[in-house]
C-alpha cells in the first residue's frame, strides 16, 4: 500500500519574509522609476544647467570645465548612474538661486508642510468618517443628501477660490483667525530667538518650550488653511466611508447581529466599522499623501513657507535642482505612506497576514 503524500507544513515566518521582500522590491522599483523620470525631466527641459550656474557671460573654457565637473560630457547612462549615486548619498543637488544644498533647504521647509497636512487630514478624518457613516445608515434621507452635497462641493470648488474667500471672511471681516504666514511678525522674531527648533513644526516646538501664547498665535494662523485642506480631505473620505459602510450593512453577519438584538450603535461602530477600516486605511493614506503633494496652491495663498511654496518659487526662477529635489522628497513620502498603509492593512485584517 503506497504511502499517502501529505503537504509539508509551511513556516509562517518564511511567508512573511517573502511578503516583506516583495514589498521592499516593489518600493525600490518605484523609487528607481521616480529617480529615472526626474533625471529625464532635468535633461529635456529647455534650461542649460551649466549656463544657469556660470551665467551668460562665462567664457567657453569655463562652460566646458563646468560641464565636465557636472559629468555632462559622459554618456547618458553614465550620467544617470552618477545622479543615482548622488541621490542615494543624500545629495539632491545645489539650488541655483541660493547656492544652498537642496536637501538642507527641503529639510527646513518640509516640516511646515507636514504640520499643515497632518492637521488637515486629522480634521478630514474626524469629520469625514462620522459623516460617511451617518449617510450610509440613513440612505436617501436629508442627512445623506447634505453629506453628498457637501462632498460634491469639496470636489467642485477650486481650492484657491475657497482660500481667498476664507481669508476675506474669517480674517479680513470677522478677524477670527490669523492672517497669512505661520506667526505674527512679533512672534516670528521671538520664535527665532527664544524657541529651540526640535521638530520644525511650530505647534509642537512652542508646546515643548511652554510658550502657550505663541502656540495660540500659531494655531490661529494654521487653523484656516488646515480646515481648508481638511474639507477637501473630508469630501473624499466621507464619500468612500459611505460606500464601504453601505456595502457592509448589507452583509449577512450584520443581519444576524441585528436579529440577535444587538444595539445598533454596536452593529455599526464595532462590527461593521471593523471591516470598513480595512479599505478605509488606504483611503486615508492616499488622502494624506495628496495633501502632502497637492497643497501648493494652499501654501501659496496663505504664504505658508512649506515645500509647495519652495517648489513654486523654484519654478518661477528656473531653479531645476530645487524643483526636482522637492519632487523626489514628495515621491518618497508618497511611497512611504503607501508602505505604512500596507502594514496597517495587514495589522487590522488578519486575512491579509
* pLDDT tens, residue by residue, 130-157: 999 999 888 888 988 898 898 888 877 7
Q: Answer whether residue 13 shows pLDDT above 70.
A: no
* pLDDT tens, residue by residue, 236-278: 899 999 999 988 888 888 888 888 888 888 888 888 888 888 8
Measured CA to CA, the distance from residue 320 to residue 159 in angstroms comes to 26
pTM equals 0.80
* The predicted structure's pLDDT at residue 1: 46
Measured CA to CA, the distance from residue 353 to residue 339 in angstroms comes to 15
Measured CA to CA, the distance from residue 326 to residue 317 in angstroms comes to 15
Measured CA to CA, the distance from residue 291 to residue 225 in angstroms comes to 11
Contact 340, 289 (CB under 8 A): no
Structure letter (DSSP) for residue 351: G
Measured CA to CA, the distance from residue 301 to residue 90 in angstroms comes to 31
Identify the three-state secondary structure at position 11.
coil
Residue 234 or residue 45, greater confidence: 234
* The predicted structure's pLDDT at residue 16: 61
Query: Which phi and psi angles does 210 have, rounded to 5°?
Result: 75, 15
Q: Which among 216, 238, 115, 226 has a CA at the least distance from the CA of 162?
A: 226
CA distances from 336 to 272, 342, 343 (A): 28, 10, 11
Percent of the chain with pLDDT over 70: 82
Measured CA to CA, the distance from residue 144 to residue 105 in angstroms comes to 46
Structure letter (DSSP) for residue 101: B
As to burial, measured by CB atoms within 10 angstroms (0-12 exposed, 13-18 middle, 19+ buried), residue 21 is exposed
Q: Which residue has the cell 462641493?
A: 153
Q: Give residue 73's pLDDT band: very low, low, confident or very high (50, 70, 90).
A: low
* The predicted structure's pLDDT at residue 122: 93
Q: What residues does each domain of the chain span?
A: 23-88, 109-352
* pLDDT tens, residue by residue, 84-111: 887 888 778 777 777 788 888 888 888 9
What top-level class would CATH report for the domain 109-352?
Answer: mainly alpha
Q: Answer whether residue 347 shows pLDDT above 80.
A: no
* The predicted structure's pLDDT at residue 119: 92
Least confident of 34-38, 56-60, 187-191, 216-220: 56-60
Q: Which phi-psi region, left, alpha or beta, contains residue 269 (left: φ > 0; alpha: ψ -120 to 50)?
A: alpha
Strand locations in the chain (E) = none
Q: Give residue 187's pLDDT band: very low, low, confident or very high (50, 70, 90).
A: confident
Amino acid at each position: 500500500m503506497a504511502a499517502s503524500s501529505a503537504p509539508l507544513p509551511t513556516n509562517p515566518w518564511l511567508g512573511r519574509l517573502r511578503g516583506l521582500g516583495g514589498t521592499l522590491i516593489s518600493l525600490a522599483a518605484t523609487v528607481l522609476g521616480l529617480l529615472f523620470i526626474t533625471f529625464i525631466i532635468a535633461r529635456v527641459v529647455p534650461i542649460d544647467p551649466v549656463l544657469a550656474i556660470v551665467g551668460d557671460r562665462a567664457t567657453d573654457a569655463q562652460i566646458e570645465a563646468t560641464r565636465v565637473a557636472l559629468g555632462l560630457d559622459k554618456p547618458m547612462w553614465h550620467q544617470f548612474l552618477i545622479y543615482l549615486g548622488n541621490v542615494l548619498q543624500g545629495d539632491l543637488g545645489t539650488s541655483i538661486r541660493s547656492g544652498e544644498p537642496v536637501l538642507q533647504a527641503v529639510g527646513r521647509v518640509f516640516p511646515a508642510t507636514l504640520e499643515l497636512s497632518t492637521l488637515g487630514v486629522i480634521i478630514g478624518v474626524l469629520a469625514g468618517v462620522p459623516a460617511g457613516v451617518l449617510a450610509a445608515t440613513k440612505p436617501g434621507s436629508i442627512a445623506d443628501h447634505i453629506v453628498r452635497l457637501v462632498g460634491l462641493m469639496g470636489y467642485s470648488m477650486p481650492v484657491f477660490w475657497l482660500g481667498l474667500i476664507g481669508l476675506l471672511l474669517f480674517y479680513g471681516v470677522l478677524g477670527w483667525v490669523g492672517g497669512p504666514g505661520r506667526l505674527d511678525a512679533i512672534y516670528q522674531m521671538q520664535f527665532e530667538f527664544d524657541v529651540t527648533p526640535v521638530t520644525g513644526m511650530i505647534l509642537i516646538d512652542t508646546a515643548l518650550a511652554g510658550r502657550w501664547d505663541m502656540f495660540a498665535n500659531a494655531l490661529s494662523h494654521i487653523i484656516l488653511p488646515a480646515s481648508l485642506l481638511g474639507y477637501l480631505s473630508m469630501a473624499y473620505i466621507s464619500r468612500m466611508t459611505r460606500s464601504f459602510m453601505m456595502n457592509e450593512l448589507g452583509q449577512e453577519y450584520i443581519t444576524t447581529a441585528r436579529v440577535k438584538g444587538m444595539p445598533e450603535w454596536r452593529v455599526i461602530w464595532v462590527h461593521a466599522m471593523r471591516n470598513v477600516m480595512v479599505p478605509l486605511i488606504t483611503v486615508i493614506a492616499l488622502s494624506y499623501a495628496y495633501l502632502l503633494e497637492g497643497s501648493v496652491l494652499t501654501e501659496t495663498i496663505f504664504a505658508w513657507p512649506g515645500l509647495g511654496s519652495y517648489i513654486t518659487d523654484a519654478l518661477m526662477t528656473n531653479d531645476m535642482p530645487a524643483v526636482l529635489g522637492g519632487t523626489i522628497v514628495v515621491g518618497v513620502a508618497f511611497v512611504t505612506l503607501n508602505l505604512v498603509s500596507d502594514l496597517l492593512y495587514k495589522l487590522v485584517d488578519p486575512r491579509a497576514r
